[in-house]
Amino acid sequence: MTYLAPFQSLQLLKDAIFDNECAYLFSLEVYGHIIGMFELNNLDLVVASPDRDGQAVIIACRPISVGEEITISYIDEDLPYEERQAQLADYGFKCRCSKCLEEKP
């Protein structure tokens, strides 16, 4: 599997934001959905993705307790722990979700 250089994903995102051809992708409505979805934290809790019409779709996979964090995954959750951590390092963080903490060697 090929990985991007450290933080290359963030640079590509920055470049796209300032590219006029991609400006429609970063409207307040679309960007607001993305920001709202990034506030979700619990990898094993939901399936969350943008819909074709730009609306955010979040489906709970199990009951959610009041005050419990909800997250989305930036990567394939079925990858081995080491591969998930390597890919997430490109986004500038080390994952400490319940799945990663449970599988950490």
Calpha distance 29→27 (Å, rounded) = 5
Is there a domain that residue 26 lies in? Answer: yes
Strand, helix or coil at 58? strand
Is there a domain that residue 2 lies in? Answer: no
Which structural domain range is residue 38 located in? Answer: 8-103
Is there a domain that residue 36 lies in? Answer: yes
Looking at residue 42, what DSSP letter applies?
A: -
Is there a domain that residue 45 lies in? Answer: yes
Calpha distance 93→41 (Å, rounded) = 13
Contact 54, 71 (CB under 8 A): no
Let me know the angle formed at the C-alpha of 46 by 55 and 70, rounded to the nearest 5 degrees.
90
What is the pLDDT tens value at each position of the chain, 105 positions in all?
Answer: 455 555 566 666 666 656 666 555 554 444 444 444 444 444 444 444 555 665 656 667 778 788 877 766 778 888 999 999 998 888 777 888 888 999 998
Model's pTM, two decimal places?
Answer: 0.44
Cα-based distances in Å from 90 to 8, 42, 61 = 7, 20, 27
Per the structure, the count of domains in the chain is 1
Is there a domain that residue 3 lies in? Answer: no
